């Protein structure tokens, strides 16, 4: 998490999401490569190369690769290897959640071996004991982002149920996470256990930020899902303490009228720069207020 903090300070809070669907890949790649594995990987390589100066982190969404079976997962592995070699913080968006020995297996799967990432997303519905198997990895520099308040329309179904103490379910989860995080504080002032907090439910987001000063946020929901630069600026502390993810807005920038004459990777770069500029402007406004 410390590495991510430093990167955000230097480059701004942009996380590029590699949710690469086969139907996003332009003809320029498809005509050169026959195998789905190569198509997915070469597209990702183009995006990584064109945006790596702007991205504080890359987030790779494993579902898109699982959907293509073994070939997809070979592309997933190559993508992770490539990002790790570039030494850019790598978040595997896997949203795993399981218990005891099975959770140990997920920790092994995503913090070592073929699919090693720096940080992963996890789902804690099964209870706080599900995080225990990750702890030994967290002590040696890995990080978690626990799903807290997500960006989808139905996120309130469970997360915003009000408990008899007057707190929402997600607020009760904060209590559990804060306790776990205390022993895993980094030099940046943020713990190794971060939280996923979508930027589409701004009131919840502001309340969470207020409660969790030492928790780094992974912030989905920007762009396609409706979150704005002004919204996400409220989730950051002096411009840090979180990364704002954009996937489709970057990966499909070449289908945007503004950039339709550019190659997919050049368009992605333009979109990433624009997103960063917008967010930095909002942050500046907030600091001035």
Residue 161 within binding range of a copy of itself, rule CB under 8 A? yes
From the list 11, 77, 95, 278, the catalytic residue is 95
Tokens of 82: 């490539």
Going 242 to 121 to 220 to 81, the CA torsion angle's sign is positive
List 7, 50, 51, 61, residue binding a copy of itself (CB under 8 A): 61
- Examine residue 237 and tell whether it contacts a copy of itself (CB under 8 A): no
Q: Is 179 in the site for a copy of itself (CB under 8 A)?
A: no
Q: Taking CA 44 as the corner, what is the angle to CA 38 and CA 45, rounded to the nearest 5 degrees?
A: 85
Q: Is 70 near a copy of itself (CB under 8 A)?
A: yes
Catalytic annotation present for 32: no
Dist. CA 88–CA 57, nearest whole Å: 6
**135: contact with a copy of itself by CB under 8 A:** no
- Cα separation, 81 vs 60, whole angstroms: 12
Q: Select from 43-51, 95-103, 183-191, 259-267 the region that touches a copy of itself (CB under 8 A).
A: 95-103
Query: Per CB under 8 A, which region of 7-15, 100-108, 227-235, 280-288 contacts a copy of itself?
Result: 100-108
Task: Tell the burial category of 2 from Cβ atoms under 10 Å away from its Cβ (0-12, 13-18, 19+).
Answer: middle
**Spatial contact of 137 and 119, defined as CB atoms under 8 Å apart:** no
Q: What is the DSSP letter of 236?
A: S
CA angle 116, 119, 122 (to 5 degrees): 105
Decide: is 14 part of the binding site for a copy of itself (CB under 8 A): no
- The answer to whether residue 77 forms part of the interface with a copy of itself (CB under 8 A) is yes
For position 286 contacting a copy of itself by CB under 8 A, the verdict is no
164/257 with CB nearer a copy of itself: 164
Comparison of 154 and 288: residue with beta carbon closer to a copy of itself: 154
Residue 103 in contact with a copy of itself, rule: CB under 8 A: yes
Residue of 3, 19, 217, 282 that binds a copy of itself (CB under 8 A):
19
Based on the shown chain and the rule CB under 8 A, indicate whether residue 255 belongs to the binding site for a copy of itself.
no
Decide: is 228 part of the binding site for a copy of itself (CB under 8 A).
no
* Residue 185 within binding range of a copy of itself, rule CB under 8 A: no
- Total residues contacting a copy of itself by CB under 8 A comes to 58
Question: Which alpha helices (H) appear in 168-263, and where do they start and end?
Answer: 169-181, 202-211, 229-233, 248-251
Query: What is the distance, to the nearest Å, from the Cα of residue 262 to the centroid of all Cα atoms in its chain?
Result: 26
Question: Which lies closer to a copy of itself via its Cβ, residue 7 or residue 150?
Answer: 150
| CA 222/CA 275 separation, integer angstroms | 9
Tokens of 48: 């990584």
Q: List residues with catalytic annotation.
A: 95
């Amino acid at each position: 998490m410390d590495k991510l903090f430093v990167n955000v300070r230097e480059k701004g809070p942009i996380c590029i999401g590699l949710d690469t669907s086969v139907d996003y890949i332009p003809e320029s790649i498809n005509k050169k490569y026959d195998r789905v594995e190569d198509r997915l990987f070469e597209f990702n390589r183009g995006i990584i190369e064109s945006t790596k100066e702007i991205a504080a982190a890359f987030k790779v969404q494993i579902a898109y690769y699982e959907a293509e079976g073994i070939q997809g997962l070979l592309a997933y592995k190559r993508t992770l290897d490539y990002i790790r070699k570039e030494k850019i913080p790598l978040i595997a968006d896997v949203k795993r959640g399981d218990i005891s020995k099975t959770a140990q297996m997920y920790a092994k799967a995503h913090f070592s071996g073929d699919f090693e990432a720096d940080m992963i997303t996890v789902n804690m519905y099964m209870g706080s004991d599900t995080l225990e198997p990750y702890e030994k990895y967290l002590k040696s520099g890995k990080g978690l982002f626990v799903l807290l308040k997500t960006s989808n329309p139905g996120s309130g179904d469970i997360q915003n149920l009000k408990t008899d103490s007057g707190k929402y379910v997600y607020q009760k989860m904060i209590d559990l996470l804060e306790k776990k995080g205390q022993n895993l504080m980094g030099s940046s002032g943020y713990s190794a256990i971060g939280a996923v907090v979508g930027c589409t439910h701004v009131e919840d987001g502001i309340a969470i930020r207020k409660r969790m000063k030492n928790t780094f946020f992974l912030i989905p929901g920007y762009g396609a899902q409706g979150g704005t630069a002004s919204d996400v600026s409220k989730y950051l502390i002096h411009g840090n303490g979180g990364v704002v993810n954009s996937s489709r807005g970057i990966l499909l920038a070449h289908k945007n009228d503004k950039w339709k004459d550019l190659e997919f990777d050049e368009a992605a770069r333009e979109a990433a720069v624009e997103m960063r500029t917008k967010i930095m402007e909002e942050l500046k406004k907030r600091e001035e207020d």
